Structure formats: C-alpha cells, structure tokens
Structure 1
C-alpha cells in the first residue's frame, strides 16, 4: 500500500497492490503431503500394513475417507490375475485391506480380510479394466469451488483428463461430496484399487487433487508390490523349509522323541535351522540338529543339502566324529561350481553348525560330536543337570581341524534336549541365561513329551523373533536284556549248524516261529562268510526291536560286496539271498573290525 500524491505533494488517494499466493501455498501443502507419504508408506514389508499406511497418510490432510481394496492373490503373495474375474452371480470380489476416516474410524484387522463385492458396472471395475482414474463429484462445482485444495491447474477446466470429472449425484446419498478412484498399478501389474473420498469439507476436487491422488497411489502400489514379492519369497522359503524337515518322526522303541520348530518373524526371513531322527542298524538311533547362518531361500536350500548329506553319511554307519569330518569336507567343496555362463563363487554353507549324536539302547551309551553347535542339555531322572563331557569343534566349512567325540551313559528316565541357538539367545538374554531358563522349563512336570516340548517353545520364544528356533527332545529307553541274544562263534564251519540252532531256539522263545526259516538262512550265510573270509573273534547277535535284527561281527575290516553269480558259479549268492529275503542289510565298521547286519519285519520277510 502507498499514498498517491498530486503535483503539489498532497495525498489524494491510497493505492493497493496484491498478489494471490494461494496456488503456491496449496502446491507446497501437496509437496508436504507427498513427503509424508514417502516417509510413511512402505515402512514394512507387509501388504496390509502398507495399505493402512496410505489410508492414514491421506486423512485428514487431503480427504476424509480412504479405502484400499486388493486382489486376494496379492495378499497371499501370488501373481495378481491378468484380468478381473467375476463370480457366478456376476460380481467382482476384492479384499478390503485398508480403511481410515477423518473421525478416527479405522478398520479392525481380521483374518480373513472382509470381502468387497463390485458389480460389473461399478466405477472401481471400470478403473481396473481401463487402468485410468475416475473423479466423481456429487454436483457441479459452485463459485469458489476451484479453490478447494488450491487452484493451480484446476482454474482451467481444460487440464482435466478426458472423461473427468463425472457428475454423479448418487454418491451424495452415501454422504460424499466427491470421490477419486485410482487403480493400483505397479510394474505393469494391477494390484487393486484405492478410493479417496470427501464428505466433511464442502470444496470440490480439482485436477491437482487427481494428480496428488495418483501420486499417492503410485507410491503405494510399488510398496505393496514389494511387500507382495517379499511375502511370496518368505512363503516359498517357509514352505521349502518345512518340506525339508521331517514330517513325521520315525517310531522307535529305543527312544521317545518330540520336536518343535518355529521360523523367525516375517521381517527377518526364514532361517536354516533343522533337526532329524535317523534309525540306524542295531536298534540304534541318530539325533541331529543343525543351523545354517542366514535367512531366505538360500538358507533353506543349504539346510536341505546338509540334511540330505547327513542322512547319506548316516546310512554308512560312520561314527559321529567321522561323519562330521566328511560333512565338513563336503561343505568346503560345495561353494564353487559351474553354470552355463561359466564358473561361479558363492558363500556356500559357511557358518553352518551341526550336532550329531548316536544312542545305543543295548548299552545305553550315547556318542556325540559337535561342529560349532551348542552342546545338548541332559537332565537326569532326578531332575538335575548332567554335564556333557564334550567340546564343540569348529563350524562346518573351516577345514583342517579335527572333531572330537564324547561318550556318556544315558540313565533310564533321563531327558536329552538338542536345540539351536535361536531358542536360547536373543537381544534380551545371552546363551548362558537362555540355557538356564530352558533347563528350568524342561525340569517341570508335563503330561507328555510333546506337551513339554510345546511348553518350552512357548516359554522361551518372544513374539517378535529374529532367528529360527528348533528343539528336539529325546527320552531314551534301554532295550530289555531279554530282547538281545549273543553267541560267540568258533572259527570252524562245524559251528554253522549250531549257530542256526541257537537262532531258532531264541526265536521260539520270543514267539517268532514264523521268522525262523528266513533267519536260519540268513544266519547260515553270514556266519559261513565270517568264518571263511573274516578273522576271529566272531560273534552272532540277535535283537528283537521293531524289526528282527541279525548281526555277525568279526575282526576283519574287509567289506563284502553284493554281486550276481553267473549260471555255473558255485558260490556268490549268499548276500544276494540275504538282500532279497530281508528289508535292509549293510556293513558297520568299528575300531575292532566290522559287523554285517540285516533286518526283517516281524511277521515274515
């Protein structure tokens, strides 16, 4: 403002000049809103949370009500459908992933999310089909309506995109003055639709409001698609992890087992924790637990390779320290390889740990070795902790360092707990404290071993886990002496009939007469081979377990080989007959020689 003077300098008037900065002000408000959206949308890799973030960011600064509806495939992490699929009644069903209003009303998250059904002529369906936004106004904008959220381009109707706005008086019946429906499109894929509505404020939407809504929807669509892809990867890794873990633990008379496994939280990703129970020859059983450092598909795949390798090596009946040595050598050779594009180098299973234990119910002895894995927790029958005299070796993949085995006796009624570090260690407690807490939980009485395992998993693990956790509980049982028969064989072929008679008499005492014929044949072949090709001392042992086990041991370390005899050969058919008449057979080496064993079902071959 300034005075207007005449030639004599007298004030004759007051002049006033003004500049309308509304457009710049509202443009700045839109930028602030977009900045808040950039910071607030996509903070979590969760589809529903991302949809809720869009709704809360837009209210009340921009609109009064926001709804976000997504295809159900997006919520599962699958690929969205290429086109809208209508049901038999002619409706399109989406899932309401987010809703928030200016009065603070928010949708309560439920599972499954509430369905929203659209008719074929609904605005949302048309937006999904065309891939373009639609602006609905309850009435023609009145004077000054173009100043709603700032004039900008709205002052010129020519800046509206073709077909917008649509005057639709029907939305007034729902209490709305305007609604912008925007398809959620990311990387060329339709994920769903978002609706921005006004009901409390009188001003109409402008062309700039449409631009802002599309910017918000674009940011949200990319964040939702990222969350969808992560959900798919997490689900795939979890499915792979669970499929590679034992679905059902084998039944064993030697040991009662229960297991528990929980993956890490969705933000951390599935890890590589695993466990296994492997039946071995001689009624023995192997207990295995391991951990692969890292998360995601790579950790799950690495875990699967290690578990397969352990099962293969366990089938050879290697002692725990030798098995870990072979496993360590295998891990060292896994990282390098060839692809069609040439050689590659990867991290492999570096950082993997494993604990392997073998329990013999006849002697009640347990031998174990650790490759960088926490030692098991042994609780005696009286509830006290029993120290495990073992030292963990280096993690797998280091190479060059030996693994030491320890042997201990497991009393009847004791409890052996094998676990991964994710069960006892987190940000709030160290390993020693976690192990002490696990001991306290496992010392409490429980109705069953499964109930005790569930109670331990629930008590030890927080709601938000950063690592996988696995727990394998084993309660060993001693095999009754009445179920084991041993006979020392003199190195003379005249002892073969006596060995057959010893086996038949024992089967008669056990009430297994139906297995006598096959057992006679097996004993005859194995004892004859031990006398002819082995070295004394020779021992025959029969074990009645879930199957009938026949073992012949001698001091020679040469292994027999299964071969097919030719037509005119006078020998060479013994092991072939044994393999055909029994369920399984094999060779087990020890420091004092070898043992040839076979197992047949109780009730016939």
Structure 2
C-alpha cells in the first residue's frame, strides 16, 4: 500500500518546504505564511491553532525520493478534526463501520467495526485515501460519491458496493454505504462521515428472489420440452453458473411414458464451457449414477471443473433428466441457499417440461381424432383451390375443417368448433366430424345436413351428461357446397359462424347469412342461402364468431386484397382465436366437359340414351369406359322411365382434375330406388346392383325438383 501524502514537508533545518490545504485548514496559516519558515518561528508568531495540532499529536517520518533529505508531517486522527461529543461517542460505541473522511479524501478516523469489516488494524487505514481504504469495494465509485457529498452537502443513503476483504477473501460481500457531510464553523473545516453496513445476506436473498422471478417469467414460455431446457440454461448462465447443460431422457423429449432404461441425451448446453457435451449427444449414465439413485442435488469439487452442482429434473416422482452447473467464479460457491435456489428453478423447469409433454400428447391425440394431417386432406377435385390453418390444441382443441368430395364434381367445405376445451371437446369434435362425413355421403342439402347434425349433437350431449359431465355440448358449424357446373354455392350455418366472400374484382360480398342457434341448442330451423359466384371467388370460413368490421376480417380483407400475398402468409398473420380457417378459391368446370340430354319417358328412348353416351365418351377419349357406361345408362334410364316421373334428364360429367366420369339420371319423383340382391329365378331387380358393381361409387341425392341417381367411375391417364 502506498504512503499517504503528508500535510507538510520540512527540510533538514526544519524549514517548511510544502504546506497542504489540510495544513491550512488545521492551523489557519496560508501557504504563503508558512513556506520558508521554521516550525519554532511559527510557534513564536502565536499560531494557536498549530499549538492545538501539536497537542493532538504529529507523526514525522522521512520522505523518499529526491536528492535532499526531507521530513513529512502527518497529524493524528484526534488533531485532524474537531467533532462533537455525540459524533465521538458514535465512533466509540457504534457497531456499524464508521469512517471520518477529510475534504482531501483522506481517512481521518475509523471505529473498531470498520476495522473488523476489513480484517485490518486501524493504523493501516488511517491517513489513507478513500480509494486505498476501499480498494476492494469499487474504490472509484466510492470516491465519486464522497466528492458529491462534499460538494453538495446532500446525504447519500445505502449506496451499494461489492467486493472482498482480507478477512474473507473467498466470498463476495455487499456493503451499503451512507454518507453525511459534517461542517465545523470554528475551524472552517468540512468532512464526511461514511457508515458502512455489510448487507450481504439481504442482497443475496434479494438477488435470489429476483432470479427466481426471472426464471418463472422466462422458462416455459413455449410448450416445448427442449426449449424449456434451453431457457433453464439461459437463466443459469452467468448468474448461477459459468457453464451449464441439461440432459433429458429420450422419453421426456418424445412425450412417451418414462422408460426403465436410461437414455440420457444433452438437449441444451452453454457455449462458454470447454468441457460441455455437444447438444444432441448421448450421455453415459455412470457419471450420474448417484443422482439417478437418490434424486437429490449433489455438490462436487472437481479439480478439472471446479465446483459442480448436479440436480434432478423431477416431477411427481418421475425423473425427466438432470441439469449440471459448473461455477467458474471462485467467490460464488454453491452454499446451502444457492443450492435451494437452483433446486427451486430446476423443479419449476421440470414442471414446464411435464406440461410440454402433456401438450404434445394432447396435440397428437387431437390430430389422431381429427383423422388426418391438414396437409393430407383431399383436394378440391378441380372445384376449388384451398388453403387452411389448423391449431389442434388449446382453445382450438375442438375446432375442425374439412373438404368433402361430392358427386357431380361438387365439393363440400365445412368449418366448426365445439365450445369448451380439453380432451372432451377434442373427442366431440371427432364424433361430429365423422357424422358430417356420413351425412355428406347422403348428398343432403346444407340446411338438412345441419338439422341432422344438430340431433346428433343433442344425443352426444345426453350421453355425456349420463356419465356425469354436466357441461352442455354445443358447437358452431358452417357447411357450404360448391357446384362448379352451375357456378353456385349453397351455404348454411349453425351459430354465428363467420363467412366472408371476396369476388374476383376485389370487392367483398357482404350478404349476411340468417342468424341461427349453435348445434345442440334450441332455436329456429336452419336455413340455407344460395350464391352465384364467378370463377376465382374466394370463400373464407372461420371456426369462431367474428362480427363484421372486426380486426380479423379487416386484416383478412386487407391481406387478401393484395394479389401478391400468398395464402399461407395471410393465414399466418391471423390471431390465434381463430383455430381453424379455410380459404377456398372457386373454379368452374369447362362446359365442354358436361353433356345434358332430356329423355322421352318411353322405353324406346333407352337405345337413344345409349347412343348419346357412347358418342360423347368417344369424343372425350374415354373409350375404355364405353361398356360400363352404356350398361349403367341403360339400366338407370329404364328404371326412371318405369318407376319415375317426367321430366327425365341424363347428364354426363367429366372431371379432368379428379379423373372421374359421373353418370346422372334425374326425374321428378321423390321415391328412392333401393338396391336389392335379386334371386336366381327373378326376371328383374338387378339394374341398380349392376350399376353399382360397374362403378366405383353410386348414390342418390334429392332436390326440390325430385331426385338424381348417380354413379362415378375413375378413368386412367
């Protein structure tokens, strides 16, 4: 430690050759009055203040440096400053570390508590500068605050500094320093009293609480097990460790039941540690044998790695993995409080990883109940071009959308959502979606389909209540059928399901749909609305209610109005409250791919129907289908003439996109034909059976004008 500056300097004859501001303050003599005079001459001149200083005691010592020998003069603490009896009593009796600092920033006086705080004797502190006295506790910051208090007179309370002391060099301590200016009107002197309190326990507790709060805010923001592990590493380094890594069992990452065979894999590691395992690497269980066995934190002192803390990631007696922290800071050991803090953070992380597992399991269950990945849904078969977004968990657990191919190149579009959440909503969604597929196969009008789906919803709700589930089962659903031949779309909805229509010219069709009750609730009958859309119209179906003018529809209108915007980008910018969104751009079938003829209600017209069919198939290049189509048309036209009601119409539809040929025979009778298996001796009853065997699918659909019997057959390239 360097020698403190003297208040005065004398040559070999006792002549004053240097006179400091402190000497001026203590004696009342200016530099001009003192320089060049011997000390006895100053005393003889009647310098009473100097006499008082001499009574308080002086220290005289040789000064090093220079060619000539000189002597330095240092005052004792008692002569340096005059203080009141109260201040003197405080320095004598206070358990708080007190420092009296002169205006030249030298330490004039300290009490026993201040010496004990440093582990140094009093004489090694007195006379030192502030920076020297606080050399281990941010000295520049302490000096700056002392200067401010001397200049302004404003006290400073609880200024926090950190460092170590010779008494405890292994641990970092925190001091709260409060400073007050003292003024002596008699001697025209100013000084500063600095109170220093060791607040290390308080600050450590505060830091731990802040770190625990930050961990709860930072960890678990995403329902992803690996991401939770990374967030734990980000919280731990550098506040708790110099390096850290997290290893999880494969079962924890894959969201399966924990296995008896440990398969630890490093999933997150800091980049600062040289000995950190590589992310993705498998870890041998032997180094973790003890913690895998007793499942409690372990602190080790390894020569190569320093202090190492290893903790289990444990939730409900299930071990998910381990976390290892290595402390590179020699003054921040893993004491009992630090281990408790890290254990709390590890336990919270384990809970977040467990939540992520449940989320992944629910996600997989929702996708399984949904029946297919959204990307694998059937295409619009040339009738529509679609884009969709589906969030199968959280609020959207009960949401669905579907694209259902229908006869005659038509396609059904449906979006809906079961109210509520959780596995119950997901299961109900799967049941309603299956019911929609079955009802769509009957070729029902949209309002008729919703009426039957409403009955199904009420039956499912009664079944839920029978097993103790008191929540009422309700759902919203929109169902639309687009006919690319007629360029017409028929829509019905249950509840306030949202639908918007963007025409090819960029304008929006705001024609409202009738207000109806959700599925499962009493209300008026469902009604369908019919729209005539030009090709290129975009139909938007949303899973949740969204009144006109809302942010979602406003954003959709703006984004879809930008012709350069991709549909996937548009969907990605929508809020998460719309769990299922379906965009469908309509197309029209080429008139050359449709042939329609009116059939006379005479049996002689059957031969003409066969000739028309063969001729059109030859024009389309579908000669391979001539036999099956000729026989099918013959049987169905005969049935319509014998059992139906005029007018009778034959229509052939070629769908190049789906590569199918549809044969349709319509009449005005609502009576439905029934397929039956004729016995060997029967002369009739085989027509519908033969038609069904020669085609890939067949069915009957009804309309206000009667019924249509249809068959569909696929053709090759």
TM-score norm. by structure 2 comes to 0.63
Q: Does 1:185 align with 2:314?
A: yes
For 1:15 and 1:254, locate their aligned partners in 2 and report how far apart those are by CA, in whole Å.
96
Q: Does 1:78 align with 2:78?
A: no
Q: Is the 8 A contact 1:549 1:599 kept in 2?
A: yes
After TM superposition, the structure 1 stretch with the greater mean CA deviation from structure 2, 302-311 or 215-224, is 215-224
1:298 aligned to which of 402, 406, 424 = 424
Q: Is the 8 A contact 2:543 2:578 kept in 1?
A: no
Look up the match of 1:334: 460
Q: Is the 8 A contact 2:538 2:583 kept in 1?
A: no
For 2:278 and 2:531, locate their aligned partners in 1 and report how far apart those are by CA, in whole Å.
54
Look up the match of 1:536: 646
Q: Is the 8 A contact 2:311 2:346 kept in 1?
A: no
Rg larger in 1 or in 2? 2
Q: Is the 8 A contact 1:48 1:97 kept in 2?
A: no
CA deviations 1:450-508 (Å, max 9, x no partner) are x73113113x325xx3552423222221441x333332223322322222223223333
Equivalent pairs counted in the alignment come to: 520
For 1:406 and 1:467, locate their aligned partners in 2 and report how far apart those are by CA, in whole Å.
23
Look up the match of 2:386: 258
Q: Is the 8 A contact 2:385 2:586 kept in 1?
A: yes
Task: Give how far 1:361 is off.
Answer: 2.2
**Quick one: structure 1 residues 475 and 75, their matched pair in 2 at CA, closer, same or farther if it must change by over 3 Å?**
same
For 1:523 and 1:310, locate their aligned partners in 2 and report how far apart those are by CA, in whole Å.
30
Q: Does 1:411 align with 2:534?
A: yes
Q: 1:31-42, aligned counterparts within 5 Å?
A: 39=213, 41-42=215-216
For 1:412 and 1:63, locate their aligned partners in 2 and report how far apart those are by CA, in whole Å.
64
TM-score norm. by structure 1 comes to 0.74
**Quick one: structure 1 residues 536 and 219, their matched pair in 2 at CA, closer, same or farther if it must change by over 3 Å?**
same
3-state DSSP class of the match of 1:390?
coil
Q: 1:552-567, aligned counterparts within 5 Å?
A: 552-567=665-680
Q: Is the 8 A contact 2:379 2:403 kept in 1?
A: no
Look up the match of 1:354: 477
Q: 1:197-596, aligned counterparts within 5 Å?
A: 197-202=326-331, 208=336, 212=340, 215-216=343-344, 219-220=347-348, 222-237=350-365, 239-240=367-368, 243-244=371-372, 246-252=374-380, 254-263=382-391, 268=394, 270-337=396-463, 343-347=467-471, 349-350=473-474, 352-388=475-511, 390-421=513-544, 431-446=549-564, 452-458=566-572, 460-461=573-574, 465-480=576-591, 482-545=592-655, 546-596=659-709
Task: Give how far 1:397 is off.
Answer: 1.4
CA deviations 1:118-177 (Å, max 9, x no partner) are 45653x34422453443323xxxxxxxxxxxxxxxxxxxxxxxxxxxxxx4x23xx4x2x
Q: Is the 8 A contact 1:547 1:601 kept in 2?
A: yes
Higher relative contact order (CA 8 A, sep 6+): 1
Q: What RMSD, in angstroms, separates the aligned Cα atoms of the two structures?
A: 4.0
**Quick one: structure 1 residues 394 and 71, their matched pair in 2 at CA, closer, same or farther if it must change by over 3 Å?**
same
**Quick one: structure 1 residues 58 and 570, their matched pair in 2 at CA, closer, same or farther if it must change by over 3 Å?**
closer
Task: Give how far 1:386 is off.
Answer: 2.7
**Quick one: structure 1 residues 79 and 33, their matched pair in 2 at CA, closer, same or farther if it must change by over 3 Å?**
farther
After TM superposition, the structure 1 stretch with the greater mean CA deviation from structure 2, 409-418 or 571-580, is 409-418
Q: 1:149-188, aligned counterparts within 5 Å?
A: 168=302, 170-171=303-304, 174=305, 176=306, 178-188=307-317
For 2:93 and 2:417, locate their aligned partners in 1 and report how far apart those are by CA, in whole Å.
82
* Unaligned segments of structure 1, at least 5 residues: 1-13, 19-24, 86-91, 138-167
Q: Is the 8 A contact 2:370 2:430 kept in 1?
A: no
Task: Give how far 1:183 is off.
Answer: 2.5
CA deviations 1:255-284 (Å, max 9, x no partner) are 2312121428x8x46433322222212222
**Quick one: structure 1 residues 505 and 77, their matched pair in 2 at CA, closer, same or farther if it must change by over 3 Å?**
closer
Q: Is the 8 A contact 1:55 1:100 kept in 2?
A: no
3-state DSSP class of the match of 2:376?
coil
Task: Give how far 1:253 is off.
Answer: 5.7
Q: Is the 8 A contact 1:37 1:54 kept in 2?
A: no
**Quick one: structure 1 residues 211 and 518, their matched pair in 2 at CA, closer, same or farther if it must change by over 3 Å?**
closer
For 2:235 and 2:633, locate their aligned partners in 1 and report how far apart those are by CA, in whole Å.
80
* Unaligned segments of structure 2, at least 5 residues: 1-91, 97-198
Q: Is the 8 A contact 1:364 1:411 kept in 2?
A: yes
Q: Is the 8 A contact 2:514 2:527 kept in 1?
A: yes
**Quick one: structure 1 residues 51 and 281, their matched pair in 2 at CA, closer, same or farther if it must change by over 3 Å?**
closer
